[in-house]
Chains A and B, each alone.
Chain A
Amino acid sequence: MLTVDHLRKRLPDGKLLLRDINFSVGEGEFVAILGLSGTGKTILLRCINRLTTPDGGEIVLTDNGSSLNITESNAGEIREVRRRIGMIFQGFNLVKRRSVIENVLIGKLGRISVVRSLMRRFEDGDVEMAHRALSRVGILDLADRRAGTLSGGEQQRVAIARSIVQDPCLLLADEPVANLDPTTAEVVMNHLRSISVDNGISALAVLHQPELARKYATRVLGVRDGVIVYDGDARLSDDDFELIYGGNNA
């Protein structure tokens, strides 16, 4: 479970981008984040796995009864936090010159020693898990292809397989279907939804289509002007829509 409390984040130019963000994500929830371009949705996700350092507030991740305070973690603790949080990037962020299976195994790097990983000595169980993850997203036949040669939809599924292998308790996804055609987008959203349900992983996904949020999310957060302006049902009314996206600033 994730709790975000009074989160603040300034841009390098001093502008207060996230003013006061408060929300929580319960176990097994699939929460969609909606909001105008440039409101700081990506930065919000990056604060949660500490790719960015927040300027104030508190983020706490509770996993199996143990609580990790993300905002107060030192370097070693940040790595522990990141092990438990999977991240699906908008641009896939695969290592293009490596094979698909090697990209999937990257999900295990947080849990094996530096020496082992420099020798590329993964355990048999890890390799088997990577194969299972690939077959789960339907691209086992691509295991030995160079990642750079895959289509966008295939690359996004490799990124999902990487997160499955990582076995996190929370999955962050930043516009996971932004570059995909409508049919492929549905396929990818279905995979995300099913690993959330089957593996009991909470998910927090930035989306740009309210229809996808209605179809796949259990809850919606609307971000605007640095605060959460909507937190509730995934079926948005016209007023809710106006609140999040409307022309005249609330």
Chain B
Amino acid sequence: MLKNRYVVPVLFLLFFIWSIICTGFSIRDLIEGVPNLSNFLGCMFPPAWDAFVPLISPAIETIQMAFLGTVFAVALSVPVALLAANNITPSKHVKVFARSIIAFTRTVPDIVFALIFVSAVGLGPVPGILALAIHSVGMLGKLYAEAIEEVDPGPVEAVEAVGAGKLQAVYYAVLPQVTPSFVASTLYRFDINVRSSIVLGLVGAGGIGFELIMAMRLFRYHEMLTILIIIFIVVMLSEWASNSIRAHIIGEEVLK
């Protein structure tokens, strides 16, 4: 008993020390780096305000990438989730297949998809949109399927009991029950995709992230700071937008 209690903390400590040694993490390097860091930050000030207006259009492109990526992800995720849900799937084999799609798209990071698509279709927002759409299926498909499995089976049976088919039962009895949870998951994923689409820009998939990596490579530090400010605004705006949509929908639920 006494021994068992120490196993986890000791393993934790050993792995911690091992990791510190192998990665060469040192506080001294960190402290010595501070002057460099402040030097770097100093170079960025003040932000290049004249670059602000031309950067608005890539910023909008970033939001559009996230938006289209999410919309396409929803279109892909709903059928996959229906096939993956225990209570709706037509057969066990189909279920396993659908769940494999979900597991695969979730496991492969969106940046890997983006790199593949950039080499396939070239630089620009399109590979970013495709990467977001496919990687998001991993999360949305899983959350949607869980919501579908939790529906009240009664109304579904009632629709089937009048002689309607499976598709009609899904449309009339399942979808109405899962709409609130689908909307919440989708908005949450949209927030994530806005941030991801910035990162995907760094590997050439368009938007404000692409501008950031270009500014960095060309040593335009003032412009970089402007871009960081714009990124901050973009993230705040999109979170505000999805929060108000959420509040609007939940408010409606409570009222009715």
> Taking beta carbons and an 8 Å cutoff, which residues of A are in contact with B?
49, 51, 79-87, 89, 91-98, 102, 106-111, 114, 117-118, 146, 148-149, 159, 162, 166
The answer to whether the Cβ of B63 comes within 8 Å of any Cβ in the partner chain is no
Known: A95-B176, A98-B176. A166 touches B155 (CB 8 A): no
Chain B contributes a number of interface residues (CB within 8 A of A) equal to 20
Assess the B162–A89 pair: CB atoms within 8 A: no
**8 tightest CB-CB pairs across the interface, nearest first?**
A110-B163, A83-B163, A109-B164, A93-B158, A93-B154, A82-B163, A87-B161, A97-B176
Assess the B164–A110 pair: CB atoms within 8 A: yes
Assess the B161–A82 pair: CB atoms within 8 A: yes
Assess the A51–B160 pair: CB atoms within 8 A: yes
Assess the B167–A89 pair: CB atoms within 8 A: no
In the complex, A42 Cα to B68 Cα: how many Å? 49
Instruction: Across the interface, name the chain B residue whose C-beta is closest to A95.
Output: B155
Interface centre among B158, B161, B167, by most chain A C-beta atoms within 10 angstroms, is: B161
Residue-wise, chain B 235-256 has the 8 Å CB interface mask toward A (1 for contact) of: 0000000000000000000001
Which B residues, 218 to 238, have Cβ-Cβ distances below 8 Å to chain A?
A: none
Assess the B154–A83 pair: CB atoms within 8 A: no
In the complex, A106 Cα to B171 Cα: how many Å? 11
Assess the A51–B161 pair: CB atoms within 8 A: yes
What are 14 A-B contacts with C-beta separation under 8 Å?
A51-B160, A79-B165, A81-B163, A82-B160, A83-B162, A83-B163, A89-B154, A89-B158, A95-B173, A96-B176, A106-B172, A109-B162, A109-B163, A114-B168
The answer to whether the Cβ of B159 comes within 8 Å of any Cβ in the partner chain is yes
In the complex, A159 Cα to B157 Cα: how many Å? 13
With both chains docked as a complex, state the minimum distance between the C-beta of B157 and any C-beta of chain A, in angstroms: 6
With both chains docked as a complex, state the minimum distance between the C-beta of A114 and any C-beta of chain B, in angstroms: 6
The answer to whether the Cβ of B86 comes within 8 Å of any Cβ in the partner chain is no
With both chains docked as a complex, state the minimum distance between the C-beta of B182 and any C-beta of chain A, in angstroms: 12
With both chains docked as a complex, state the minimum distance between the C-beta of A49 and any C-beta of chain B, in angstroms: 6
Instruction: Across the interface, name the chain A residue whose C-beta is closest to B161.
Output: A87
In the complex, A98 Cα to B176 Cα: how many Å? 7
Q: What residues on B are CB-neighbors of A148 within 8 Å?
A: 256
Q: What residues on A are CB-neighbors of B161 within 8 Å?
A: 49, 51, 82, 85, 87
The answer to whether the Cβ of B179 comes within 8 Å of any Cβ in the partner chain is yes
In the complex, A114 Cα to B173 Cα: how many Å? 14
Residue-wise, chain B 122-166 has the 8 Å CB interface mask toward A (1 for contact) of: 000000000000000000000000000000001101111111110
**Which of A92, A102, A110, A149 is the one whose CB lies under 8 Å from B162?**
A110
Q: What residues on A are CB-neighbors of B163 within 8 Å?
A: 79-84, 109-111
Interface centre among A92, A97, A111, A148, by most chain B C-beta atoms within 10 angstroms, is: A97
The answer to whether the Cβ of B177 comes within 8 Å of any Cβ in the partner chain is yes
Q: What residues on A are CB-neighbors of B177 within 8 Å?
A: 95-97
With both chains docked as a complex, state the minimum distance between the C-beta of A51 and any C-beta of chain B, in angstroms: 6
